[in-house]
A and B are shown apart, each in its own frame.
Chain A
Amino acid sequence: MAQKKESASDPESKSSAPRSNHEPAAKTKAAAKSVERVTAVEMGARQREISVSEFFTKNRHLLGFDNPRKALLTCVKEAVDNALDACEEAGILPDVTVKLEVASNGEPVAPSQASRFRVTVTDNGPGIVRQQIPRIFAKLLYGSKFHRLRMSRGQQGIGISAAGMYGQLTTGKPVKIISRIGPKAAAHFFEVQIDTKKNEPLVHENKQIDWEQPRGTQVTLEVEGKYQKGRASVDEWLEQTSIANPHVRLIYHTPEKETKEYPRTYHELPPQPREIKPHPYGIEFGMLLKMLQDTKSHSVSGLLATDFCRVSPQMADEICKAAKVSPDAKPRELKGPVAETLYKTLQETKIMAPPTNCISPIGEKAILSGLYKQIKGEFYTAVSRPPAVYRGNPFIIEAGLAYGNRPGDHNKPQQPAMPKAEGEHEEEDSELARVIRYANRVPLLYQQSACSTFKAVLSTSWKNYGLTQSRGALPGGPMVIFVHMASVWVPFTSESKEAIADYDEIQKEITLALRECGRRLGLFIRRRERAASEFRRRNIFELYIEEVVDACNRLKGGTLPKEKLKAQLQKIAATRTGGQKTDQALGKTSTGPEGLPHSIIVTAEGVEGETELATRVEADQATAAPMAESDLLDSTRSVDGPALKGESTKGTGVKTSPKRTTTKSEQIALVAGRPGAKKKSDGKSLKPMKAPGPRKPK
């Protein structure tokens, strides 16, 4: 730490100021009286207000800045969350660009070695009015979302200013903001820092500038950080963000100077969530006391009817009667046991659940499109539960699954059938499913095992749905499990918003959603197994016929009309394995995944289910901009042509799908490799999902 402070080049850095102000004083006092008892007076002299900013300076882990790698992610996350919140609230389809650059003074450093980064997030949102900019970015607990009950990514009004403060603390650099509220308005440039003692903004720079964007906001933070790909990385977070937010177009410039684009595949904004009043079940006694003091109503029944949701004037009167309070009583005069009775009565009265238009689920279609876009699989399904309530807060649980290896993917390495030695068996897949968790559309990457969603996944009996699962473990198999909780107030286990707390109601909803997904997956797996076993049956005969004919021919001294015998046996085989019927079981003649709503099935022949959705995703991806050259090199999965001999299917984690999401190049390769659309009997156009062929130059 000390070393870093010295190296901070900005002489005006305020980061060390608050420390040097109070630390020596505290030390001298403590040293002088170290052995003596402290009197109340002396203690009193030391008692003073702690500013929030000071508190968080010392407790930055509470906000997700515990280590450089996580801190870098948190900065990106806070800025992107805000960008998306703002766009959606303003009714704008979000275009967000994230740029990570190594910030070195002098010599260039490799991204993996660098310890300082510049994070720039640009959105096409509504912009921020000039006067608000300093406080938004340099005052903790300042925001527009805390005081209302409405679903949004941000809740507390800490996010972006904490990120700014973290940057200020670790690099001494101010936060730079450009914002513009419309094409006719000027773009304002700001450089701000926090006075950590007063929790007030210090403005370093404020001017009008030329900006190419007609509207939007750009935030630049310079922070200490560490860039490392893989689990819980910035890359993973953005990728998962794109899955749950298919209505967002996201461009990511990595520190390695690659550009990844996550195209918009869903062209509707999520419905605007409405703001709601608190529900009587959602408040605690203290809160009621406060409401009694603060209300504008002149009567208790008036307060009940206007300050809460779902309480009609008539019901308000009934509640008053039941609580033995005069409906006309002055709220401010209600105290002690009377207020307590009122509170109890409120909790005991049967009141309709809160309205749920305050939350906007992602929706089954959008989840499908997100999963289908980013994860290669054979089967996709999504479930949005009806709204439910915990502690008076409405919420919606959504779950999804992406399962299997896309046909093209596992056919490839199978080609060079290696003869097996005695005792050798087909390698078994020991891969476990992966859980991706979201709260209000924001991916949660840390504290998985503390999260209610994860616990629900573990406690679901996946064995019932044809998967393997050891006790208390994730199910086995190539699968991604998607769980989303949308709520006006997501109950996180801590301020850093990493895990969803365990409420029975929440747990129950997640379980129900997962079960429905599992049920559909089970149907799919069973259907596929049935087809596979028929296929195997016919295959067995096909395989052995060749052997039997050859052996018979040798027994007969090589004089046998081989082809005739083979044809005869094959004919018998076909009639014995049910001929036409088998074709049906194999899915060759069937139409759509019956009994599998909101699902996509990808087979070697094409896509079933929400075909339109799938084809649209592909069309979108096909028209997306070309990617940087380095991106192509990075893509290990799709662009290699015929399978390499002896190449192992394991080893590189990249290959096993649906583990990694596709990068831009893979998506294009996927489309380019398709030899043209096939028509299905029902007229729906189908695009066969063939193994990605060689990439065509664009």
Chain B
Amino acid sequence: MTTKTKKTTVVEKKLISLADIVIHAADRSKDPMFQIPIRALSNVFFNEKKGLIEMGSKKQERSFFNVGMAKRFMQTVLVADALSELQRADLTTSLREIYYRTKHTIKDSHENTFDAQDESDPVIEDLEVSLATLREELHVSAENRGSIVGPVVFGDDGDRVDCSKLGKGGYSVPSIVEPEYLEIRRCTADFVLLVEKGTQWNRLSEDKFWRRYNCILLTGNGQPPRGVRRLACRLHEEHRLPVYVLVDNDPWGYYIYSVVKQGSINLAFESQRMAIPKAKFVGLSSADPERYELPRNVGIKLNEKDIARAKELLNYQWFQKPAWQVEIKRMLASGLKYELDALANKDFQYLTKKYLPRKLKEKDWLD
């Protein structure tokens, strides 16, 4: 536990500034108001030069004396208070614990400050963007949802973690991978392969794919969490490793790739630290079924939601490259999507032995 003598951190100062807003407004008989950058498609733009999604300058005002916003306002102050408590105590916690910490029944009423976690999570994101602070800096972590294996050595809390000696299970990627928390001591790999699904990552890890191709295997089990994205980014930036992304062939897979590459709409302000503009899409491409002779019967019919989502992607600025338009339209035209798992139809080790080797040899990827 830290003591009171500890100096007030920058983050804590930012949090306290919220209280100052309230106090100053009250002194002037004004409605206290926070300015919160809008986290939506309407307030992001694609910086083509940097290859990043960046946040615009549109802000929303959250004022206290407005019936529609009063509760949100109160919640924002409560969360700020809880976050500053974390700073003072130098503790890291989860989104869920913040929810429980700030939840209570308001005096003399039936009303709870928060009814569910989906009310407190967005407030934390609001604070991240308005205070221009990373969640890691706020000492809030997400789930540890990610695995890594390959020729890389970390220093974690003073322990040496050699990811080439951790069997097929690998190392579980922490949610905060900033240099202060996780040190990359040595890295001899040639590239990073980021796999969408844990099952495929298991296959590759078991088959020791990383040893044959001297690469790092990384997965986030679905949409990669911040820790995984940030780690991939660090390996790319600090060790100049190319990053290849392997996802299912469906709109969701494309989107995962785009988040890794350009950043997400919701947290566009973090693109700088997370996005890997040079990441490449190795597959599964809508051209692969033909090229790799996947039978039609292992495809899945696109549902209405898939089609709508794909059409949305076609409109995103960062999918305007002709190759990408072809890629997505081809999927729409075929009316089918394919899972990585479908490769097992040919052979259990088809992915390791045939598909990836050929892809890498032919440099068959999309940028």
Residues of A within 8 A of B (CB): 417-420, 422-423, 426, 537, 540-541, 543-544, 546-548, 551-556, 560, 565, 568-569, 571-573, 576
Contact = CB atoms under 8 A, between A and B. Distances in A.
A127 B111 CA distance: 65
Interface stretch (B100-108, B122-130, B187-195): B100-108
Nearest to A555: B19
A555 B67 contact: no
Contacts, number: 92
Given A419-B112, A555-B81, A569-B64, 11 more contacts: A543-B109, A544-B64, A544-B70, A544-B73, A547-B77, A548-B22, A552-B81, A553-B19, A554-B84, A555-B84, A573-B65
Contact of A548 (B16, B73, B110, B115): B73
A568 B32 CA distance: 11
B78 to A, nearest CB: 5
B15 A555 contact: yes
Nearest to B17: A555
B113 interface: yes
Interface residues of B, number: 36
Q: Which of B16, B18, B64 is the most central at the interface, judged by chain A CB atoms within 10 Å of its CB?
A: B64
Contacts of A543: 106-109, 111
Contact of B113 (A537, A547, A560, A569): A547
Given A541-B65, A544-B71, A552-B22, A572 B31 contact: yes
Nearest to A573: B65
B27 interface: yes
A546 B23 contact: no
Nearest to B26: A568
Contacts of B71: 540, 544
A420 B110 contact: yes
B116 A422 contact: yes
B80 interface: yes
11 contacts: A417-B105, A417-B108, A422-B116, A423-B116, A426-B110, A547-B106, A551-B77, A556-B23, A572-B26, A572-B29, A572-B30
A548 B23 CA distance: 10
B326 interface: no
B77 A417 contact: no
B74 interface: yes
Contact of A537 (B16, B31, B67): B67
Contact of A546 (B26, B65, B107, B112): B107
Contacts of B77: 547-548, 551-552, 555
Given A422-B115, A565-B26, A568-B27, A548 B80 contact: no
Interface in B1-55: 15-16, 18-19, 22-23, 26-27, 29-31
Interface in B68-110: 70-71, 73-74, 77-78, 80-81, 84-85, 104-110
Contacts of A541: 64-65, 70
Contact of B81 (A417, A419, A537, A554): A554
Interface in B130-185: none
A556 B26 contact: no
B105 A420 contact: yes
A417 B15 contact: no
A547 B77 CA distance: 9
The secondary structure that dominates the A interface is helix
A423 B15 CA distance: 30
Contact of B78 (A423, A537, A547): A547
B105 to A, nearest CB: 4
Contacts of A547: 74, 77-78, 106, 113
Nearest to A564: B26
A576 B31 contact: yes
B79 to A, nearest CB: 9
B25 to A, nearest CB: 8
Contacts of A548: 22, 64, 73-74, 77
B108 A556 contact: no
B67 A540 contact: yes
Nearest to A415: B108
B331 to A, nearest CB: 39
B4 to A, nearest CB: 9
Nearest to A539: B109
Given A420-B112, A560-B23, A568 B80 contact: no
B67 A552 contact: no
A426 B105 CA distance: 14
Contacts of B81: 551-552, 554-555
B16 A555 contact: yes
Given A544-B64, A555-B16, A568-B26, A418 B110 contact: yes
Sorted nearest first, the 3 A-B pairs with minimum C-beta distance are A555-B19, A568-B26, A419-B105
Nearest to A547: B74
Contacts of B16: 555-556
Contacts of A426: 110
Nearest to A550: B81
Contacts of B70: 540-541, 544
A556 to B, nearest CB: 5
A554 B81 CA distance: 7
Nearest to B99: A422
B93 to A, nearest CB: 17
B110 A544 contact: no
Contacts of A420: 105, 110, 112, 115
Contacts of B65: 541, 572-573, 576
A138 to B, nearest CB: 65
Contacts of B84: 554-555
A252 B97 CA distance: 63
Given A417-B108, A419-B105, A569 B26 contact: yes
B109 A417 contact: yes
A576 to B, nearest CB: 5
Contacts of B15: 555
A551 B113 CA distance: 12
Nearest to A423: B116
